[in-house]
Chains A and B, each alone.
Chain A
Amino acid sequence: MDLRFRDAEPSDEERAAVDALLGPPATAWEGGLRTDEDLRVAAAAESRRDLLLPALHAVNDRVGWISEGALDYICRRLTVPPAEAYGVATFYSLFSVTPRPARVLHVCTDLVCQAKGAAGLCASLEERLGPPGSSWQHSPCLGLCERAPAALALQAGDPPSSAVHGPVTGPDLVAAELAATPETGPADVSETPGSAEPPAEAAVPQAGDPGLVLLRRIGVVDPGDLDDYRANGGYAALRRAFEIGPAAIIREVLDSGLVGRGGAAFPTGRKWEATARQPDHPHYLVCNADESEPGTFKDRVIMEGDPFALVEAMTIAGYATGCHKGYLYIRGEYPRAIRRLTHAIETARSRGLLGADVMGQGYAFDIELRRGAGAYICGEETAIFNSIEGQRGEPRSKPPFPVEKGLFGKPTVVNNVETLVNVLPILLGGAPAYAAIGTGSSTGTKLFCLSGNVRRPGIYELPFGATLRDLLTLAGGVPEGRTLRAVLLGGAAGAFVRPDELDIPLTFEGTRAAGTTLGSGVVLVLDDGADLVKILLRIAEFFRDESCGQCVPCRVGTVRQEEALIRLSKRPDSGDLALLREVGRAMRDASICGLGQTAWNAVESAIDRLGVFSPASPSTFPSTEAK
């Protein structure tokens, strides 16, 4: 590839950050110092495009933003055209291509935090630090919803650091930011008493309950200690996997009835079988830990509280489907989960549980952790491939499906974190025992992300078949003196249900029959104090922000949807309601991927099921009343 560069030079710091990732440049062709030798040999540069995202992270982590000189240097090192690298850098919201302070506070203004007072945080910050955009900015859901309202500070440096706040008040957040509170460093792979961030089990109200399956080790094992994990049943499932072999593992997973927990509810066994059968090699495994659906934080709790379980489960999935390499794609806003998983992967590797000869069984498997950089869309199963490959995180057109042509064009199995950890109890207890839990078509247990106006928010594990009422009761219901207004199931891409619909069974078939969805397990509870119109505006803003921009119905449709909702929030208008419906239908019918296809779901259900904007419920026009 013949690349042309402008003459921007990297600073020493930027160069050092990139070299720390890639090693020093071998030749002047890659941006090294020119020697006599270089004038005589021409290097056939090979593009290492898939390292683009890690390299952009390296600079952004060290300096806080990506300058033209830094981008050019990355491009020289990786043989990537600068225009394309610029396109990639500007795709992700955690990166900046203009100067900004080393420390940036990301304040969640998404659904749960909004319902819990994010506006107050923003007002305090604006008063002391000025308008958002530089040292602090609005952020979509940070996956800290049980601690809403929440914020995440990311501090560039060597090493970079981070701090989470939540629940927090405006004045406390301002004080903490002005003092740049103690950051959690790389030392917190185990829970440390007195640490600023509560331990993972603080998000699990049922922690320690002997009936738990997926959450049973949370708060019980030390997430930084492999021996503790093994002492608590860890790596027994992998041992059993090696005993029975790949075909029998797939049979077990098929018989268990396990379906994906990432949102699409596809049978996992069938996906594995189809991938294992592909003659083309290599096969890849991708664990989808991008968890960015507003209100979702279950995968974070697993990864922070029981990271070795995910490493073991990925190894089993890789073995069953003929993969020797697994990518763990985790959202960039999860610094503690990233540290703990990095530690778990390294430890497993050093103990022969990953690497050339896993458990001495002659099977080679390794895991590479890849960090996202602020893009909900990268959780879509084909966008994740583009992101890993160093392209813009735009979904691909299907067919071909990932099992045929996925990552690097090869057969790939993509699974959600929760889906994968289910494989451990399936192998340990056997498929029949697993399938006996839950209902006929929704087997096993499910993690629910309870948040909003509920007494005990957090992650709950229940066998499929429990009703929404059971779940709300377990979580203590709405706070004293309040009444339930609505529940948002499935997140921004989900649908609202009314207080008279609490007997909906929380199963895939039960929610579908009720015209809603389990999605990623979001159960956002809203009481009579919640402003539903504001929630809808936020949902619309979320999709407008997170659309990749590739296809017209979603790129423009999400903008028109938000505009119409803003107008509707000020005055009733049947024309705008009709407009919303028409735009919504086109987005659902004609968008490339699930983002555009579902961008209208929650708004539609609020209008149809909750009667928001209906002339019969004037209370839904608060601003008209205020005038």
Chain B
Amino acid sequence: MTIPLRPPRRLVDITVDGEEVRVAEGTTILDACGDSGPCSGKKDIPTLCYGDTLTPKNACRVCMVEVEGSRTLVPACSRRVEQGMVISTDSERVRHSRKLVLELLGSSTDLSTTPRAEEWMERYGADPARFGPDAATVEQPPKVDNDLYVRDYGKCIMCYKCVDACGEQWQNTFAIAVAGRGFDSHISTEFDAPLTDSACVYCGNCVEVCPTGALSFKTEFDMRAAGTWDESRQTQTTTICAYCGVGCNVTLHVQDNEIVKVTSPHDNPVTHGNLCIKGRFGFQHVQNVPTGQKD
């Protein structure tokens, strides 16, 4: 088998916040503005629905930037640079739209477990409470229908990442999809059947990509409810899954000498953060140490 050599990528000249830089053609604006991009100064464009292992869905609109000549703002996570593009990542228009998007999300969804949401709210001066106490929300009781993970859709921002991870892009199980329309749209199995009755194989790949904590390990969910979840007391150790010969990387999150959840490195060239039920949830045996032998 011969591997065709990719033709070298042409460089294009773009202007980002007044600074002229050169980047490879086809780069997204987000990558061009990222830490490994050529721009001086950290742009730190917020993202929610963007996933480093997934095709951009363009749904959350928190990453919008201004491109000269474009009638509307454009999503940095998916728009590719073009020769001569003039981009503003922090103009008044951009800040206004980010502020509003965060307010709209914050007023309809519980963002308490969304990493960085609070920081961004502060940065853009977002005040979700200004829509009043009667603003419609997606509040609902969490769905706890199996022992492995919980679906707390009151925290769901409809980023589509779990659906993409479960479907065509990775898992090919298609247990969940988006149902309904507009504000009523939601993630669902067919006829809202319990997960245990659905096609789900509990790979947890949806949990891996969920940006809000709407999907979480049952362990994490229970510990949060009990008030014992404390990330500052957790360690992360990446090792190799003990179950089969594939050798997937697993990252064990440990608090008080107990594994509390398992993730997988997204930059692994083979698994891209995906695991199967055994690597993801089959950690109990590690902890079944006869009492007295712990530590």
The chain A residues found within 8 Å of chain B, CB to CB, are: 1-4, 6, 68, 71-72, 81-87, 90-91, 93, 97, 375, 392, 397, 544-553, 555-560, 563, 567, 579, 582-583, 585-586, 588-592, 597
A86 adjacent to B181 (CB under 8 Å) = no
**CB-CB under 8 A for A583 and B177, given A547-B182, A548-B182:** no
Determine the chain A residues whose CB is within 8 A of the CB of B277 once the complex forms: none
Instruction: Name 14 A/B residue pairs within 8 A (Cβ), A-sorted.
Output: A81-B174, A86-B188, A86-B191, A397-B56, A547-B181, A549-B181, A552-B105, A553-B61, A553-B101, A555-B182, A555-B185, A560-B104, A586-B104, A590-B100
A549 adjacent to B180 (CB under 8 Å) = yes
Say if the beta carbon of B158 comes within 8 Å of chain A: yes
B130 adjacent to A86 (CB under 8 Å) = no
One of B100, B176, B182, B185 near A545 (C-beta < 8 A): B182
**CB-CB under 8 A for A585 and B96, given A86-B179, A397-B75, A549-B184:** yes
Q: How far is the CB of B248 from chain A (nearest CB, A)?
A: 21
B61 adjacent to A560 (CB under 8 Å) = no
**CA A87 – CA B175 in complex, angstroms?**
11
Say if the beta carbon of B198 comes within 8 Å of chain A: yes
Determine the chain B residues whose CB is within 8 A of the CB of A72 once the complex forms: 190
Determine the chain A residues whose CB is within 8 A of the CB of B59 once the complex forms: 550-552, 592
Say if the beta carbon of B132 comes within 8 Å of chain A: yes
**CA A81 – CA B198 in complex, angstroms?**
11
A84 adjacent to B177 (CB under 8 Å) = yes
One of A549, A585, A591 near B158 (C-beta < 8 A): A549
B185 adjacent to A1 (CB under 8 Å) = no
One of B64, B105, B132, B180 near A563 (C-beta < 8 A): B132
Nearest 9 A-B pairs (CB), nearest first?
A81-B174, A586-B100, A549-B185, A87-B177, A556-B104, A82-B190, A4-B199, A547-B182, A86-B190
Closest to B178 in A: A87
A559 adjacent to B64 (CB under 8 Å) = no
A83 adjacent to B64 (CB under 8 Å) = no
**CB-CB under 8 A for A563 and B61, given A84-B177, A558-B182:** no
Determine the chain B residues whose CB is within 8 A of the CB of A583 once the complex forms: 100, 104
Say if the beta carbon of B157 comes within 8 Å of chain A: yes
A83 adjacent to B104 (CB under 8 Å) = no
**CB-CB under 8 A for A6 and B93, given A71-B190, A392-B178, A552-B62:** no
Determine the chain B residues whose CB is within 8 A of the CB of A548 once the complex forms: 181-182, 185
Say if the beta carbon of B172 comes within 8 Å of chain A: yes
Determine the chain B residues whose CB is within 8 A of the CB of A556 once the complex forms: 104-105, 107-108, 183
Determine the chain A residues whose CB is within 8 A of the CB of B105 once the complex forms: 552, 556
**CA A147 – CA B175 in complex, angstroms?**
46
Q: How far is the CB of A387 from chain B (nearest CB, A)?
A: 12
**CA A551 – CA B62 in complex, angstroms?**
10
A582 adjacent to B181 (CB under 8 Å) = no
Determine the chain B residues whose CB is within 8 A of the CB of A90 once the complex forms: 179-181
Determine the chain B residues whose CB is within 8 A of the CB of A558 once the complex forms: 182-183
Determine the chain B residues whose CB is within 8 A of the CB of A552 once the complex forms: 59-62, 101, 104-105, 157-158
**CA A84 – CA B160 in complex, angstroms?**
13
| B side interface size, CB within 8 A | 50
A559 adjacent to B183 (CB under 8 Å) = yes
Determine the chain A residues whose CB is within 8 A of the CB of B107 once the complex forms: 556, 560
Say if the beta carbon of B58 comes within 8 Å of chain A: yes
Q: How far is the CB of B184 from chain A (nearest CB, A)?
A: 7
Say if the beta carbon of B97 comes within 8 Å of chain A: yes
Say if the beta carbon of B193 comes within 8 Å of chain A: yes
Say if the beta carbon of B287 comes within 8 Å of chain A: no
**CA A68 – CA B191 in complex, angstroms?**
7
**CA A83 – CA B179 in complex, angstroms?**
8
One of B174, B177, B183 near A549 (C-beta < 8 A): B183
Say if the beta carbon of B197 comes within 8 Å of chain A: yes
**CA A72 – CA B197 in complex, angstroms?**
14
A589 adjacent to B73 (CB under 8 Å) = yes
A83 adjacent to B72 (CB under 8 Å) = no
**CB-CB under 8 A for A547 and B58, given A6-B197, A579-B131, A589-B93:** no
B136 adjacent to A91 (CB under 8 Å) = no
A83 adjacent to B185 (CB under 8 Å) = no
**CA A83 – CA B193 in complex, angstroms?**
9
**CA A91 – CA B64 in complex, angstroms?**
27
Determine the chain B residues whose CB is within 8 A of the CB of A84 once the complex forms: 167, 174, 177
B64 adjacent to A590 (CB under 8 Å) = yes
Q: How far is the CB of A426 from chain B (nearest CB, A)?
A: 29
A563 adjacent to B131 (CB under 8 Å) = yes
**CB-CB under 8 A for A586 and B97, given A86-B188, A552-B105:** yes
**CA A6 – CA B189 in complex, angstroms?**
11
B100 adjacent to A553 (CB under 8 Å) = yes
A4 adjacent to B179 (CB under 8 Å) = no
Say if the beta carbon of B295 comes within 8 Å of chain A: no
**CA A154 – CA B37 in complex, angstroms?**
58
Closest to A585 in B: B96
**CA A589 – CA B64 in complex, angstroms?**
9
Determine the chain B residues whose CB is within 8 A of the CB of A97 once the complex forms: 191
Determine the chain A residues whose CB is within 8 A of the CB of B100 once the complex forms: 553, 557, 582-583, 585-586, 590
Contacts A555-B182, A583-B104, A592-B59 supplied; 17 other A-B pairs, CB < 8 Å: A81-B199, A83-B190, A91-B180, A93-B181, A97-B191, A397-B58, A549-B180, A549-B181, A550-B185, A552-B158, A553-B97, A553-B101, A556-B104, A556-B108, A556-B183, A558-B182, A560-B131
